[in-house]
Structure 1
Amino acid sequence: MNLYPLQKISFLLVITSTICLLYIPRSLGEEDDEQYLKCSASFQCANFPNIGYPFWGSSRPNYCGYPEFKLNCIGDAPVISFQDKDYRVLDINQSASTLRIARTDYWNNVCPVSPGNTTIEVNRVEYASDVQELLLFYDCPPLNIPLPIQLTSQFNCSINSTANYINYFVTQNLTNSGLTNISSTFGTCHTTVTARVSQSARENLAMNSTKDNLVAVLDSGFGLKWDASNNLCKQCNETGGQCGYNTSTAEFTCYCKDGPNPSNCAGKKKTIAIGLAVAGAILFGIFIGFYIYSFIQKKKKKLAALAKSKEIPTPLTSKSVATPSTNLSQSQSIPSYPSFTSKSDYDKGSTYFGVQVFSYTELEEATENFNPAKELGDGGFGTVYYGKLQDGRVVAVKRLYENNFKRVEQFMNEVEILTRLEHRNLVKLYGCTSRHSRELLLVYEYIPNGTVADHLHGKRVESGFLSWPVRLSIAIETADALAFLHRNDVIHRDVKTNNILIDNDFCVKVADFGLSRLFPNDVTHVSTAPQGTPGYVDPEYYQCYQLTDKSDVYSFGVVLIELISSLQAVDTNRHRHDINLANMAINKIQNHLVNELVDPLLEFETNHVVRRMATAVAELAFRCLQQERDMRPTMDEVLDGLRAIQNEDLGSEDGQAVVLDIGADDVGLLRNMPPPLSPDSAGTDKLVYKRWDKTI
């Protein structure tokens, strides 16, 4: 058989490839093991997506998880059972091997038909390190001894008892607290239940010992940590297997593509690896030889063509004439914020200012098509929705009202500021949609406990009273965040209690930077049309169109008065002179009537410590609310003043309340407040430099 050189190499390549394919084990061509495929797929249980090992239930077979981790997926949340008691699953963190659960029979109810202890004694599960006991005593006779208010409180419900019996809950071990007489008295109660809660929840209950807060604390659940052969599972995953459970031997099993293995898939891959290595080496050698041969042949053809061209001149044709370059704009694009060329770009991890860019579809799914039932709040610039991303993160999604130029500017402004600055008391931005998306959406960390406004005079007032230490702490953390912004040349411009979020531990997260301004170092103010919320806007900013960091100080002064009084910044139901809270506060403080301003629930008249501190905070707020900005303190000075008040360093050592001596001549009164502002006021910004003779 006479073959040309190229034909010989091609024939050799086919023969060698066939031999290599025959040498590779047959298992490569077979279908993957069914158990491997079943356990490779995560499952959704109620409202929890992407659940995997060691859990099973619903469509996931029992050999894909341990028996203790079966989930019931029928209701609105997964339910797991330990020792014949059902628990509602609140959160699953598979990377940390933790979950948070709450008793189903105590869900929104502290008076179940058959109360019982919360006891979980399972080999593969243990309580999280912060889990504490909470004692509940049912059907107790009247106790004729005083009870410490920070340790115990009573609640109403009747379980197989007469109306004369009372129920109590205790947040600490009474014996360890030296209260053995009370502990023995509780021994006469009909039923004693040991519940489990987190340490922070128990401390919160001690500060706010209402029945509603007791329900909320029990509903917040407690943490568990599991060990379902975690080390073996890690080895199994690293070798390409899926973790599971052998129902016959009651032991861990690693499901590999070609069948189960006790621990990992490394041994099953050895034969395949050898075959692939040999085949790969042979094929690599053949391809190198083929490449060298092809290169030599092309070189010969080029040399021959060149020699021929020197002998026979080639005439010019229209095809040989160089044409002008095409428009550069067709081949190059100048990226805006952010630039996408196709829908698939959304899936490539695009970022803007270092945060993730989400697709509109992804956030639409996370919020269940922006379900009205998922609304967390409704402000001047957009609606905020509760959402859950595909990776399991719980988030708050802000949906801006209008997709016009002004909204785009505010949208980009908030993204830039929140990604540039990081502080423990500033809300964290996870990402956003493209500016060219059908809607402008911002994705934040979810802060579960509402706003300060909700707790002072909104929908969460009934859930629990904010004590004075909590209010002072909120003021300090908010001042710390604003002082940090000012040190970094940012003016918030919309400081109000609706923009101050608090988590379950009552820690502050300042939010909503849509109106915020970057403030250059070399200017005294920025000239711009006033924007903000009625009741909080700096009067000098309104009158002179000059925005400074002292504008935030004024707004914070209103927040301080709200924390003292629990009153709204603007309330048309009040007397016409008191509609504006700032006006009302100035008048009360000047006339030495601070007692009429302070929330009666703070016990201003009877608690001299609260009286001293609240009076000092009122004085500080008074300074913040001055008509002329030069008479107001800086945010750093406000922060120092609040910390001194918290440490009771008030310059008074006799234990008496500080008496304010503020006269009408000492300050600029807020007699002529401007009319309410529209948040959408438009105007042109310009920077005014410190030099008096130069304006840009």
Structure 2
Amino acid sequence: MGDQSSTPTPSVSVSFFVFYLLIIFLHLAQVETKPQRPKCPKEFLCSNRSIPTFPFTNKSLPHCGLFKLGCNVVSGRPTLELDSKLYNTIYVGEEDFVMLSDPVLSDHLKNRSCDSFNLNSSTSFTNSSSISFEVPAVQFLFLFKCNQGSSHHSRQKIDDYFAGYKSYRKCKNFTLYYKESHHIIPKNKVPKDCSLVQLPFDNSTKSNDLFEELSPEIIFFWKLSENCSECHYRGGQCQSDSNNNFKCLEENRNMIGKKRKADVNGITRKTNKSSSKVKLILITVLCSLALVIFMSSVLVFARRHYNTSKVGGFSSFFSKQDIERSSKYLGVPIFSFSELQKVTNNFDPSKELGEGGFGTVYRGKLRDGREVAVKRLYERNCKRMEQFVNEIEILTRLRHRNLVTLYGCSSRNSRSLLLVYEYIPNGTLADHLHGERAKHKSLTWPIRINIAIETANALAYLHASDIIHRDVKTANILLDCNFAVKVADFGLSRLFPIDVTHVSTMPQGTPGYFDPEYYDCYKLTDKSDVYSFGVVLVELISSMPAVDMDRDSHEINLANFALNRIQATAFDALIDPSLGFGTDPEVTRMTTLMAELAFRCLQPRKDMRPTMYDVLESLLDIQGGESGFAKCPPSRELEEVLMKKNKFATSPNSVIEKWICSTSTTRNSV
């Protein structure tokens, strides 16, 4: 009895709580209702073109973003005003770049007008404390515009000065000198009758006609400041004061209320106030009753369990860590920041497993004994938040033995964005092919072809699930102790609808693996993954890296190197001889066929490339052949997805009957 009397009785606690709510209720009943800002839509429309929100907005909702877009009724394209100049937008998407076209320059170039050279396009836009811009200078051609009205001696002197430059002499009052390089002569050394003009050009066009080389299109990249990202996710509006210092404008309801008072008459205002007060009173009463019932139940529960609790009853039952661990975000468990900080020894550099473009991965061990890889994303802004959410959403809807498993994540409100994966102990394929582990020469040919098949299995499963990986490379193919594949890193992945043929996006990923069609039309398809996988196949048969600056300039990318060798049937200059090429007939056959398959994957046009399922079947045929290897059919997960979508004419029974796991193949055989 003595112990129980020390516990707060429900009646006393409830009385205090009701009294507290009554005070709040009386205060709120006297406060004028504060109108809300209009909600920001998920997207804006311009002639059936959808434009994502923040940092974009339209002129009618200026608080929703930093870029104010209009809509060109004639072209049906959005327009963008930057530094008091109006541009037509060619691409506006969810990525951190915008592709623009200068309409004035476009007209001049079409008319082959020398007025084109009176426009000096800028390589920069005005930065603010909310957002900064980068316009790569590589998009611009630097021309020197020299006055022709000077004497013959002066003109000769200028010609001598620009010896080695191309010249354009068809304009009446000036001559243009330029080079197709980005070396700029310092302004103080330019002859006094000449001035520097910068105009965008298309570096893919090879022509002696200057007007064909020039282009009205430019790409600029934008980056939000940390302050602006945090402000936006709190629901505020990014602004700058007169000194360009950042300030976050929270929703100033009083100011909005005053504006609305000026727009309505007194009678309407009183009616709205009365109606709003009634609604507020009803909501407050209902919330108060619900909270009283909830708190009463909790206190009664705590009192009953007070004597049985060994750690302090009520406070231990609702410990912060238990609440965090019991909750989920997008279907995966939430780990507290402090727990992940502890298992990684405060993100000790000695526990680093690797470092990528978006974060650092650390090794750790959870309390339940599971070894994990904890990825800590760089920074904390809207771009990282998008990748954080995207990877969780992708991995929670997928189940495949050759895809890495996501154990959980940190709260999205945590001081760092953290993702927790299963730990794969044997490093990456890139490390085994041309990294520290390559010196052990553990990747024999049977292991390599199994790696190719299992990776193709995983990618075919992704495509059948309407997902594009977007960053297929050997550094994202993890290997366990038995050299089984785990494809990782889905931060750039995208869901794509079944009824569309492409997803417009910025070419992101890793140099050496880019689909060349990215640069032509900015259209991403599942065939982009096929191209990247073609590079992986070449790495497997050659042991060469995807990019090597020591190769000839036109063959720095392994894809170009491989295409040239395969077209010339110079397989001996491509395939790693240590695999048995040229000495083992069966290895020679399989590596040659894999090179030919890679050639099909690396075709510049996507419609000439096979699907990932076709690639998988070709690899299985290559492995089966006359080698005596057990031929492993597509994975059970892949076939189940294909059958659900009626893409695979095989009965469930036959699928189960012919299922043979590729892991049964001896991986360490020579």
TM-score bin, normalised by smaller chain? 0.3 to 0.5
Q: Could you say which structure has the higher helix fraction?
A: 2
Structure possessing the higher radius of gyration over alpha carbons: 1
